Amino acid sequence: GENVEQHPSTLSVQEGDSAVIKCTYSDSASNYFPWYKQELGKRPQLIIDIRSNVGEKKDQRIAVTLNKTAKHFSLHITETQPEDSAVYFCAASINTDKLIFGTGTRLQVFP
Partner 1 sequence: NAGVMQNPRHLVRRRGQEARLRCSPMKGHSHVYWYRQLPEEGLKFMVYLQKENIIDESGMPKERFSAEFPKEGPSILRIQQVVRGDSAAYFCASSSTGGSGANVLTFGAGSRLTVL
Binding site for partner 1 (CB under 8 A): 1, 6, 31-32, 34, 36, 42-46, 49, 51, 89, 93, 95-104
Q: How far is the CB of 25 from partner 1 (least distance, A)?
A: 14
Contact indicator for 74, 22 with CB cutoff of 8 Å: yes
Which residue number, 49 or 71, has a Cβ lying nearer to partner 1? Answer: 49
Q: How far is the CB of 22 from partner 1 (least distance, A)?
A: 15
**Where are the extended beta strands (E) located within the chain?**
4-7, 10-14, 19-25, 32-38, 45-51, 56-59, 62-67, 72-77, 86-92, 100-101, 105-110
Q: How far is the CB of 101 from partner 1 (least distance, A)?
A: 4
**C-alpha to C-alpha distance for 107 and 89, rounded to whole angstroms:** 11
Which residue number, 46 or 61, has a Cβ lying nearer to partner 1? Answer: 46
Which residue number, 34 or 65, has a Cβ lying nearer to partner 1? Answer: 34
Q: How far is the CB of 44 from partner 1 (least distance, A)?
A: 5
**C-alpha to C-alpha distance for 71 and 86, rounded to whole angstroms:** 25
